[in-house]
Amino acid sequence: MVSSGPYHGEFIRRLRTIPVHGLGLSVDVHAPDLTSLRRSLQERQVPPAYLEVFRTTPKALASTRKQVGDGLLTYHGEGLWLTQPEMADSTAFEQEIAEAAKHLMLLQSAWLNHECATKYVAGYHYGTYVPPLYTPLSADVVAHNTRLIQHLLDRQCRLTNGNTPLMLLEMPPLTYFVAGTMSIPTFFRVISERAPCGLVLDVGHLWTVFRYSDAHRAMSLTRFIEDFLGEFPMDRVVEIHVAGLAIHESYRALASRLTRDMDDDSLPAWIDAHAAPIPTVLFEMLDQILCHPQLTSLKGLALEVDTKPVELIVDEFAEFSRRYGALFYRLTHAEQAAPDFEVRSVLECPREIPSTQPLQEAYDRYAQVLVGKTEPVGSEWSQDKAGIQELDLYRSLYLPYELLHWGGNLEDMFVESCRRLRERDVSLDGFVAFWFREPRPLVGAYDFFLLKVDRFVEFVHEVAPELHGIAEREAEELRQAYRFANEPGVPAQVS
């Protein structure tokens, strides 16, 4: 299906200002260290054509810009919770937009890639992305919020070439379940009809849709991709990501026991895992995706490799370049018969959308479902239970792991506090219940690590008030170490 309408015209106008970026790497400049990664890529003579950089401090972004000279950099933002109906009401939103604009200008990024997912639902905070409710009202809200963000960037973010970065939405992965009543490709089609944004298609995320929407029981992977791409607005895809997949640590022991009993058509319970090797199946999927006739807006093709060993990144990128270099060049330099759209020069300020109260209530229920306080029933949940068969893995394994171990193991972070809690027979499982006991509003820029540190001090104060001083001392040491780790010195220049 080909996109049309005023927002598509606006998208095309913005797209025309963006150069072809080529084959790149999407990285976290701290993990692995960017200087040594770039050196190893140079030594193998496979320098990436661009780097997509995940959000970090302005100092680290400025240092990255300096390090790569004139090289192309793009930005993978975070903290703009555009799936949430109350996004613009939060006091943190203005701060997040101003920060995103500053980061985009530091990098001189042609686009702002943001996951179409959230780490904040109805007052509850998460360490990793929670996918949106896939419903018609939710698509409407995402489109509205995306237009608003683009409008604010138009006002606050002007690159030196005179352009404004284009907003890209990345289709998020599924982690064991899907929530909603609408098919995922239709959800993105509706958004693209109502906003001038581009899209990022992540091949690993697409695999998780095949796996957790239960499509794999009904059809082959090839057929699934064909159907999915037939509905997904492929002419809005500006970037494609490929990253690793793996069984999650919280599920590994259980999964190896279950493997013995799996029937032949079962697929592994992989989820998105940037540190893991990229499985071959994703390149087979990419081959099929790159053949799609509506893939007419592609500017970049990147491996997403944060937290992965340097040697593995270099090996994978060398093979990736060998396999896709020439094809990508042909695809992006083919003469496109671009339709002549009537375009508006500046996006109008988005008007108020219809009441979002029902969606806010649906997200309230969603947060309760995620933590297991209520069951997935209600108009926002599909009658077909195929997509929630493994929801309990998220609730009972993944989510507690996220709070106790992800982004910092509590027992390693608060060594003395945890030892003394153990002496008092206080289980850390209580921290999970404490975290989700009541909603808390968003305050300031989103940082899960610092939030976890603050909340743990509060938890200790509640369950063992006499340990408060110890917890606070450990917390202050953690905050200082964190600040130091995120503000490294200027990396050495790579020749």
* Binding region for Fe ion (CB under 5 A): 202, 241, 304
* Cβ at position 11, least distance to Fe ion in Å: 20
Residue in the block written with tokens 């094809």:
327
Q: Which lies closer to Fe ion via its Cβ, residue 209 or residue 413? A: 209
* Cβ at position 456, least distance to Fe ion in Å: 30
| d(C-alpha 129, C-alpha 459), whole Å | 24
| d(C-alpha 43, C-alpha 47), whole Å | 9
Surface-to-core class of residue 59, CB atoms within 10 Å of its CB (0-12 exposed, 13-18 middle, 19+ buried): middle
Q: Which lies closer to Fe ion via its Cβ, residue 99 or residue 202? A: 202
| d(C-alpha 193, C-alpha 6), whole Å | 8
Q: Which lies closer to Fe ion via its Cβ, residue 10 or residue 202? A: 202
Q: What is the DSSP letter of 30?
A: B
Please check whether residue 282 is in contact with residue 244, taking contact to mean a CB–CB distance below 8 angstroms: no
* Cβ at position 304, least distance to Fe ion in Å: 5
DSSP 3-state assignment of 51? Answer: strand
| d(C-alpha 304, C-alpha 324), whole Å | 15
Please check whether residue 156 is in contact with residue 142, taking contact to mean a CB–CB distance below 8 angstroms: no
What is the amino acid identity at position 108?
A: Q
Q: Which lies closer to Fe ion via its Cβ, residue 21 or residue 365? A: 21
Q: What is the DSSP letter of 396?
A: I
* Cβ at position 306, least distance to Fe ion in Å: 10
Three-state SS letters, 473-490: HHHHHHHHHHHHHHCCCC
In DSSP terms, 249 is beta-bridged to none
For residue 222, give both structure tokens: 């090839």
* Cβ at position 365, least distance to Fe ion in Å: 28
| d(C-alpha 123, C-alpha 411), whole Å | 26
* Cβ at position 26, least distance to Fe ion in Å: 7
* Cβ at position 205, least distance to Fe ion in Å: 6
Q: Which lies closer to Fe ion via its Cβ, residue 60 or residue 282? A: 282
Q: Which lies closer to Fe ion via its Cβ, residue 189 or residue 241? A: 241
Q: Which lies closer to Fe ion via its Cβ, residue 129 or residue 394? A: 129
For residue 159, give both structure tokens: 């690159």
DSSP 3-state assignment of 9? Answer: helix
User: What is each CA distance from 105 to 77, 281, 358, in whole angstroms?
Assistant: 13, 37, 37
Length of the chain: 495
Question: Angle of helix 415-423 relative to helix 468-486, nearest 10 degrees?
Answer: 150
* Cβ at position 423, least distance to Fe ion in Å: 43
Q: What is the DSSP letter of 88?
A: G
For residue 25, give both structure tokens: 């790497």
* Cβ at position 185, least distance to Fe ion in Å: 17
Measured from each CB, the residue nearest to Fe ion is: 241
| d(C-alpha 157, C-alpha 47), whole Å | 29
DSSP 3-state assignment of 303? Answer: strand
**Of 50, 154, 53, nearest to 101 (Cα)?**
154
* Cβ at position 303, least distance to Fe ion in Å: 10
Residue in the block written with tokens 């990024």:
109
Phi, psi angle pair for 176, to nearest 5°: 80, -15
Return the H-helix or E-strand segment holding 4: none
* Cβ at position 433, least distance to Fe ion in Å: 32
Q: Which lies closer to Fe ion via its Cβ, residue 73 or residue 453? A: 73
Q: Which lies closer to Fe ion via its Cβ, residue 166 or residue 367? A: 166
* Cβ at position 169, least distance to Fe ion in Å: 11
- Residue 469: CB atoms within 10 A of its CB come to 12
* Cβ at position 162, least distance to Fe ion in Å: 29
Q: Which lies closer to Fe ion via its Cβ, residue 92 or residue 200? A: 200
Q: Who contacts 87 (Cβ-Cβ below 8 Å, separation ≥6)?
A: 80, 81, 93, 145, 148
